[in-house]
Amino acid sequence: MSVGSPGGHAAPSPSRDEGATDDVSRLDPLLDNAPCGFVSFTDDGKVRTANSTLLDMLGYERDELVGAHIEKVFTVGARIFYQTHFFPLLRLHGRAEEVFFLLRRKDGDDAAAIVNAVRRERGHEWVTDCVLMHVRERRKFEDALLRAKEMADSARAEADLERARVQEANDLLERQAIELEVGQQQLMEQAEELETQAEELRGMNDALIDRGEELERLRAVAEEANHAKSAFLAVMSHELRTPLNAIGGYVQLIEMGIHGPVTDAQVDALSRISRSQRHLLRLINDVLNLARIESGRVEYNLESVVLRQVADTVLPMIEPQLNARRIRCEVAVPPSFRALADREKVQQILLNLLSNASKFTPAGGRVTVDAFADAEPNATVSLRVSDTGVGIAADRLEHIFEPFVQVDDSHTRRSEGTGLGLAISRDLARGMGGDLRAESVEGKGSAFTLSLPRPLKQ
Amino acid sequence: MLFVHGFGCDQNMWRFITPAFENDYRIVLFDYVGSGKSDLSAYDADRYATLAGYADDVLDVVHALDLHDVILVGHSVSSMVGLLAANREPERFARIVMVGPSPRYVNDEGYVGGFERKDIEGLLETMEHNYIGWANFLAPAVMKNADRPELGQELTDSFCSTDPLIARRFAEATFLSDNRADLAALSVPSLIMQCSDDMIAPLAVGDYLQRNLPGSTLRVLKATGHCPHMSHPDETIAIIQEYLANPAPNAGVAVTHA
């Protein structure tokens, strides 16, 4: 917008054409028949004169046009253009040139014309003189030009739109390409990371395999060492037992006086030698048994064993120890209870349990042997040895079945033994498909339960 | 007084009118964007597709100069542009003077506007032919009339829109507009200046406006044609002065002067 003040403009004066009038009769014959239309009209639009050429062009008689309004020869569109453009132009500028007008002939047809006009004062009034060139072929050409221009404009608009679309699509593709590149970059980084991790995992795997091989090798070495140990122990036990048996035999011969009379003091000494020899023999037997068990060289002769008979067999063997400490022993094993087991092994276990009970029960205490069976068929039958001894602390209870373990150091001093008894007993129980479990209340006593499978038929 | 030019011209069209009001009023003139000496780069086809965009121009001027109690004098289509602006911000306007107004140019059922749709197309065709090849024909290079030197150089500039697309769009916005529904909302007193023989705004249109514009005064001029401010400036000035000298009727009361 431009905003301004008009200043003091005066109304424009017309072009001077002194002496001219609008008298039609004065129309020069040359002008009347000139090869262009001529018309003159007032500011109000009233036609003052028109030449023959124009009348021919529009199909009017002179008296039909002179005195009429100039708009009579305009199409409606041309009238609007006259009011909005042509008249203001004439009024403000005094002239107009090369203006295109669509005229209306008397017969209703259109006639296009190019108009040059000048507004001037003549005969005491303001008139506009116009010359009109009829345009026919030129109009067709212009129409074609306009249509072509329209098509070109619309094609250009279309092309612009298309270009914008292509540009947009291009931008989108570019963005996607960038995104893809970024994505690819990320994927490559991830792939590299994965490769690194895979490398690490491979390394760890190799290390684990190495470690596994190492462990396997170590295990083989350990197993070999264990076998060697067991073999060594078996051999050594045998080698030790032979001289010990010889010592025992010869002590008995001396005691019997076969090599001459022995004094009371000598009998006493021989008795000590004999006790030590037996103790040593027992220790060696224990070690031998453990070695055998560990090396898997123990054989079990399973049969239906009457538990009461086992108890009756074992009890006399332990009675001297029990009596010596005035420990009462009660046996409550029903004669009908049987187990599918190796009789000798069960005897060995029961003897071990009673021996322990006698060791760890204070003088004047009580040891009980009883038995019970699960109600279910094919379940187990159990033989239990309870005492009123020192008992075992809960944190020690789980360790007592390990080899070379006794309840504590203080007991070890007065309860001699290898510490192998319980370990051997449990191994034997498990070897027969049973188990050996312990429960105890410290200071009140302990109970060891040997469970064994029952024979299928009783 | 804010003078608003119509379709086909620019602010120069008021040159015969404004001197009569210079002593009593602040005179403000402007060209719509796309017309006269406006900055064509500011033209926005969407904004100027309807008269509302031209009303925006009016209000932009009102705000830029912080105008109050505006007497808006609008020619032809700018009568309706002024109406739209006054409906939007009535507090800014004191009176609306409408020179050759029409709320709708094309005939409608029960309404005489004076034109058929094909007539408007005829106008557009005439405009097309006049803009082809010599787009600046409306901008005569030199005023050769020695007796009007005062107009001189000023008129060597463009007289009207010289861009055919802008002119066509203005023509469509003007002649295909229908502002009949906006008339009743006008709360500012208005003067309808109706020429006695105006093919663009026939007498029936003036009557229609006077009936439907609250607070309007209808004056039918002796002048003929569509541009009384150029063809009959004295009568135009006298009627505006007379209208401004009298108290405005209340809105809703229409007064017809004989």
The predicted pLDDT at position B247 comes to: 81
Q: What is the rounded average pLDDT of the residues A264-271?
A: 88
B132 touches chain A (CB under 8 A): yes
Q: Of the candidates A13, A100, A145, which has its C-beta nearest B147's C-beta?
A: A13
Quickly state the pLDDT bin for A287 (edges 50, 70, 90).
confident
> Cα distance from A92 to chain B (closest Cα, Å)?
7
Position B83 pLDDT exceeds 80 = yes
In angstroms, the Cα distances linking A2 to A298, A374, B4, B148 are 123, 117, 12, 23
- Chain A residues with beta carbon closer than 8 angstroms to that of B70: none
* pTM (predicted TM-score): 0.55
* ipTM of the complex model: 0.84
Tell me, which fold does domain A299-453 have in CATH? Heat Shock Protein 90 (3.30.565)
B233 touches chain A (CB under 8 A): yes
CA-CA distance, B203 to B219, in Å (whole number)? 11
Q: Which domains does chain B have, with CATH numbers?
A: 2-256 (3.40.50.1820)
Query: Domain spans of chain A?
Result: 15-135, 299-453
The predicted pLDDT at position A66 comes to: 93
From A88-102, A112-126, B127-141, B158-172, the region with the lowest mean pLDDT? B127-141
The predicted pLDDT at position B53 comes to: 94
The predicted pLDDT at position B41 comes to: 84
Strands (E), B70-211: 70-75, 93-99, 190-197
Q: Of the candidates B36, B120, B129, which has its C-beta nearest A142's C-beta?
A: B129
Position A147 pLDDT exceeds 90 = no
A91 touches chain B (CB under 8 A): yes
A145 touches chain B (CB under 8 A): yes
Position B64 pLDDT exceeds 70 = yes
A151 touches chain B (CB under 8 A): no
One-letter amino acid of B104? R
Report the b/e string of A26-39 with b at 16+ CB within 10 A. Answer: ebeeeebeeebbbb
> Cα distance from A12 to chain B (closest Cα, Å)?
6
- Chain A residues with beta carbon closer than 8 angstroms to that of B150: 9-10
Quickly state the pLDDT bin for A25 (edges 50, 70, 90).
very low
Angle (CA) A409 A318 A357, round 5°? 35
From A213-217, A242-246, B129-133, the region with the lowest mean pLDDT? B129-133
Task: Search chain B and give the residue with CA nearest A99.
Answer: B130
- Chain A residues with beta carbon closer than 8 angstroms to that of B196: none
- Both tokens of B199, joined, read 């093919």
Q: Of the candidates B12, B18, B124, which has its C-beta nearest A92's C-beta?
A: B12
Alpha carbon of residue A166 to chain centroid:
41
| CATH code of the domain occupying A15-135 | 3.30.450.20
The enclosing H or E element of B127 equals helix B117-131
CA-CA distance, B161 to B138, in Å (whole number)? 8
Quickly state the pLDDT bin for A14 (edges 50, 70, 90).
very low
Segment of A233-247, A354-368, A378-392, B19-33 carrying the highest mean pLDDT: B19-33
